[in-house]
Amino acid sequence: MRKGKTFIICGPSGVGKGTVVARLLASNPTLYFSVSATTRPPRAGEVDGVHYHFLTKEKFREWIDADEFLEYAQFVGNFYGTPRRYVDRAMDQGRDVLLDIEIQGAEQVHAKRPEAVRIYVAPPSWAELERRLIGRGTEDMEKIRSRLERGRQEFAVAKDFDYFVINDTVNRAVDDLLAIMRSEHCRPDERIAEINRH
Ligand code: 5GP
């Protein structure tokens, strides 16, 4: 059986990754979404074990010490990390894995697993991003400013990514992402292995 591929999705806060990811999962039920661990408190409507594993700082530290994370990073005052075991299990089952992580985490995964595909989800403009982030109403102005600043720093680094997807409409972004995932499965190594299996 073929092994699944890892797709890393990065993009600034407020760009709409959550919506895009939800639509992607709905149109591709075999795709496995990696639920991250975080020390950030849950937002209204967020469910433990579904959106994140919400951990105390002490528990997060325990997971680091036990080498439970494929990667972890600090983002605007909180820790976020990808638990390794579920990702590996899904890939062994032949499922593609989606990681929604910030850029330092993406770099760590890239260093360990260079075959992972890095995709940057960009806003149509910075003004639009600010509008979306304020409209979301989940952070105060100081946090919004930190997140925007961080977004611009990440943008500069993301030019080395494999793909850029502009989220002007969710439909276009989801179409592009599905096309990328499909194309990545047409690479010679995978196709040759498939032919040789039969
Ligand atoms: P939020 O607090 O808005 O849910 O997420 C803040 C940032 O943390 C986003 O850029 C998100 O992609 C990133 N993030 C979420 N989970 C992880 C993770 O497991 N590892 C890393 N490095 N970043 C993550």
Q: Is residue 171 part of a domain?
A: yes
pLDDT digits (tens, 9 = 90+) for 131-163: 998 888 888 899 899 989 999 999 999 999 999
> What does 36-50 look like in DSSP terms, one character per residue?
EEESSPPPTT--BTT
Residue 130 has pLDDT above 80, yes or no: yes
CB 8 within 8 A of CB 103: no
Alpha helices in 93-169 (DSSP H): 103-112, 126-136, 141-157
Q: Please give the Cα distance from 107 to 161 (Å, whole number).
A: 10
Q: Is residue 24 part of a domain?
A: yes
Q: Is residue 67 part of a domain?
A: yes
> What residue's CA is closest to ligand 1, atom 23?
101
Å from CA of 17 to ligand 1 middle: 10
pLDDT digits (tens, 9 = 90+) for 4-62: 999 999 999 889 999 999 999 999 999 999 999 999 999 999 999 999 999 999 999 99
pTM for this entry: 0.93
100 CA: nearest ligand 1 atom: 12
Domain of 171, CATH number, reads 3.40.50.300
Q: Is residue 69 part of a domain?
A: yes
- Residue 75 domain boundaries: 6-197
Q: Is residue 1 part of a domain?
A: no
Q: Is residue 84 part of a domain?
A: yes
Q: What is the total count of domains within the chain? A: 1
Q: Which residues pair with 75 in a beta bridge?
A: 78
